[in-house]
Structure 1
Amino acid sequence: MRGGSKSSLPPSEQAGPRVMIVAGEASGDLHGANLARAIQRERPEIRLSGMGGDELRAAGVEVLFDAARIAVVGVVEVLHHLGDVLRARKILITEMKERRPALLILIDFPDFNLLLAAQARKLGIPVLYYISPQVWAWRSGRVKKIGRLADRVATILPFEQAFYRRHGYRVDYVGHPLLDTVTTTMSRDGFLEKYDLPGDHPLIGIIPGSRRKEISTLLPIFLSAAERYQAESSHPCTFLLPRASTVDQELLLEHGAAQAKNSLDLRIIDSDRYDLMAACDGAIAASGTVTLELAILETPTVVAYRLAPLTYRLGRLLIRHLRFFSLVNLIAEQEIIPELLQDEVTPGRLCRELQAVVDSEQRRKSMIADFQRLKELLGSSGASSKTAALVFEMLDAAGR
């Protein structure tokens, strides 16, 4: 064990340092799980606990609070879940006080995580912020708070390093974790055969997000757009709706999928998510990490999002300087994929945008070429192992 005395016990039986990982959303849960595995490959004696979901549990992390209970967006939505937010914070702070982790790893989720960082600072617990909040996009004043509360910051986009440097802070650029995880396991023909899908039909992805509010708001509109697209198409289409592990199928059926099956060739698919995305000729997707996943897989996409009216009005005040809201366009600093926000998210408008990106060969080729340039901007792979190396450095420096 690094930084301590040698033990005659095998690594699995040694009382190694305790590390706390806190992720608040599905993407953070996934990236945190990959980091946990990278840590345990090199240092299996390290004990991991914190907040997350099924991915962190599967990676051997003791999950003290299920992040799905507080994974919401917007002021109105947070107020509805305030009790859960306060309970989660109390549980994690109690964990820090009673079991004194040697390191706290925070993954994005800034409104919640920065409060934990402040508490860790009071307790003398070092903080590694992995996947820095998008302070370059909005609320840039937070960079000072992060710089003050975090001992190390690992950024996943190359220009974030320069952004922090301009504000006087040194950070570590580790590359984007999606470059390690967004991979296919079979050919398009193999995917079609496995799910008994017609090879001569265009495949259209319907991806309404992973939160209950996103699905209830966006899925009915996405399915209505799909019905219009099919009605105006000269050939039959197949629509694929991937179901995330955190989403119950009944939720999808309740919010339009059951009825849409009467008019569409709609398939709900529970696994092989990236193979599904790569097989699609086009997709309608909620704004979020999924748009970047689709870009890496080079699937032409239309992105859309709707918020509670109050949340939207407040957001517009905070991010008036931004030209785009989707990750793909923000990173590229140009419009690669069409964006529809708030009142623009209608079945008719979605249908027209989908027709443009799927049915125009010239538009498809141009978008795919832009995706290839975007992947170059994302940098190199190996984010989890590089971040694990930072973890070991911080533990060694603390003598753990």
Structure 2
Amino acid sequence: MIKNLREVRPGTRFRGFGGERMQAAGCQLDYELTQLAVVGFVEVAPKLREFFRVADVASDVFDKRPPSAVVLVDFPGFNWHIAKRAKQRGIPVFYYLPPQLWAWGSWRVKKLKRYVDHVFCNLPFEADWYAERNVSSEYVGHPFFDEVADQELDSRFVSSQRQRSGGLRVAVLPGSRSREVNHIWPMQLEIIRELARRHPTAKFSVACLRANHKEYCQRLLCEADRRLPIEFHVGKTSEIAEAADCALMKSGSTSLEMMARGTPTVVVYHVGRLMYSIAKTLTDIKEFSLPNIIAGKTIMPEFLAVGSTTQAVEQATAAMDRLLSDRDERDAQRRQLQKVYQSVGGTGASRRTALRINALLDGEANQDDANLARAA
């Protein structure tokens, strides 16, 4: 987004909260926000004080050097506070990758209407949902597809994955957050053990985001697991997905990459009983994987473990077994994924959003000029 805004609005300066990639794009970081990445109340509660402290940093920035606009990306629990502070000071607020209010907590749309001037929607049905609730919004596409299209794969690694395997290749994605990996990998390891027994020629490549995730996954291997046809890699998620015949993954945005690459996938997730009880009262959807939500039906089989993992592990194992046993099953899911991708998978979301933000800001500037002229 920063790169695109620089192109359409040369000379623009950026500051905010984010990570090293934003900083590399030219953003002055007021806080390294990636260290506060959390999911669910259990993770949020211990960091509440720090969240409010960082929000106060935003207030100080807004008071001393008010920006022309505030662009929020995802992270609604924190960004509500940033939006409120910006709105109180008359700063335009735009939301890119907005919270999925249509999925859960739909009453929060009242808060969004108070604090956000315009929403850039990433899923085709979102704009209609917001419009029905009188929220200024438009559909621009999903930036994840830009990343997939622009990413240069390590072709040598992809080739080595394909050549090394004598049987089917299975990509295993345990997640990007340590807490998730701690819950999901033990489930996936159980599934791998059984699949390796049923399909002795299958090969499993585990895509870890960080070195400490790889170390954790390897520590859980028992002596008997040393004979499993399994490899661990760091920073090769896209290559592993590209080379795979099918995938076993944790629920998350990477499911969109699986869809873009046409990789048949089974999805697993785990929540505690308390969190599940709370979520049931807030949720308005049946599926939790984005390709399934977009399609309005189950394409990627998905299995949620609530407390005990036994049933979800058994069900996911059966679904993976079908993919590994039946090429027609894999091809059928691949065709469905490609069909959905063709309907939503266009690139240029961030570029379109940058152009619209530029136009909206110019429109406000022109309106201010007109008001001054009338006053004169």
Answer whether TM exceeds 0.5 for this pair: yes
Residue of structure 1 equivalent to 2:55:
89
- CA distances 1:296-343 after superposition (whole Å, capped 9, x unpaired): 111111111112332221011111x42111111111110101111124
Match of 2:242 in 1: 278
Partner of 2:338, secondary structure, is helix
Q: Please identify runs of 4+ aligned residues in structure 1 that moved more than 3 A.
A: 183-188, 190-197, 255-258, 343-349, 397-400
From 332, 335, 344, the counterpart of 2:295:
332
State the one-letter code of the partner of 1:268: F
Instruction: Pick closer, same or farther for the CA change 1:329–1:196 going to 2, 3 Å.
Output: closer
- The number of aligned residues is 360
Structure 1 position 240 matched with structure 2 position 240 = no
Check 1:331–1:270 CA distance in 2 against 1; reply closer, same or farther (3 A cut).
Answer: same
Q: Is residue 45 of structure 2 the alignment partner of residue 71 of structure 1?
A: no
Task: Determine which of 324, 331, 343 is the counterpart of 1:365.
Answer: 331
Paired residue type of 1:60: G
Matched, 1:155 2:121: yes
Q: Tell me if 1:42 matches 2:8.
A: yes
Alignment of 1:95-244 (within 5 A): 95-183=61-149, 185=152, 190-194=156-160, 198-235=164-201, 237-244=202-209
Instruction: Tell me the distance in 1 between the aligned counterparts of 2:20 and 2:323.
Output: 34
What amino acid sits opposite 1:279 in the alignment?
A
| Contact 2:71/2:96 (<8 A) preserved | yes
Going by fraction, where is helix more abundant, 1 or 2?
2
Summarize deviations over 1:30-84 as a string: whole Å, max 9, x none.
Answer: xxxxx11111233342111212223222222222222232211111111122233
The yes-or-no answer on 1:374 pairing with 2:340 is yes
Q: Does 1:341 align with 2:307?
A: no
Rounded to whole Å, the distance in 2 between the matches of 1:252 and 1:309 is: 28
Deviations 1:96-135 (A, max 9, x none): 2222111100012212112211111101111011112111
TM-score, structure 2 length as denominator? Answer: 0.88
CA change 1:66–1:238 in 2 (3 A) is farther
What TM-score results when the alignment is normalised by the length of structure 1?
0.83
Question: How many Å separate the matches in 1 of 2:346 and 2:158?
Answer: 31
Match of 1:292 in 2: 256
Check whether the contact 1:291–1:326 (CA below 8 A) recurs between aligned residues: yes
Q: Is the 8 A contact 2:170 2:245 kept in 1?
A: yes
Q: Pairwise CA RMSD of aligned residues?
A: 2.3
Distance in 2 (alpha carbons) for counterparts of 1:318 and 1:241: 33
For residues 263-274 of structure 1, the aligned pairs below 5 Å read 263-274=227-238
Do the aligned partners of 1:241 and 1:268 also contact (CA within 8 Å) in 2? yes
**Which shifted more, 194-203 or 46-55?**
194-203
CA contact (8 A) 1:191 1:279 kept: no
Describe the shift of the 1:252–1:308 C-alpha distance in structure 2 as closer, same or farther (beyond 3 A): farther
Q: Mark the CA change 1:99 to 1:372 in structure 2 (over 3 Å): closer, same or farther.
A: same
5+ long unaligned stretches in structure 1: 1-34
Instruction: Tell me if structure 1 keeps the 8 A contact 2:260–2:345.
Output: no
- Give deviations 1:152-193, integer Å, cap 9, x for gaps: 1111111111112212233121112122221364597x4444
Shifted more, 60-69 versus 385-394: the winner is: 60-69
Q: CA deviation at 1:398?
A: 4.5
Q: Deviations over 1:222-276 (max 9, x none)?
A: 12211221122142x32222232xx3x1233224456267232332323343222
Paired residues of 1:191 and 1:275 also in contact (CA < 8 A): yes
Q: Any stretches of 5+ residues in structure 2 without a counterpart?
A: 367-376
Q: Whole-Å Cα distance in 1 between the matches of residues 326 and 309 of structure 2?
A: 21
C-alpha displacement of 1:143: 2.3
Q: Supply the distance in 2 between the matched residues of 1:197 and 1:88 (Cα, whole angstroms).
A: 49
Corresponding residue to 1:252 among 214, 219, 231: 214
Note closer, same or farther for the CA distance 1:383–1:242 as it changes in structure 2 (3 Å cut): same
Secondary structure of 2:181 counterpart: helix
Match of 1:3 in 2: none
Larger deviation, residues 292-301 vs 79-88: 79-88
Alpha-carbon distance between aligned partners in 2 of 1:151 and 1:219, rounded to the nearest angstrom: 41
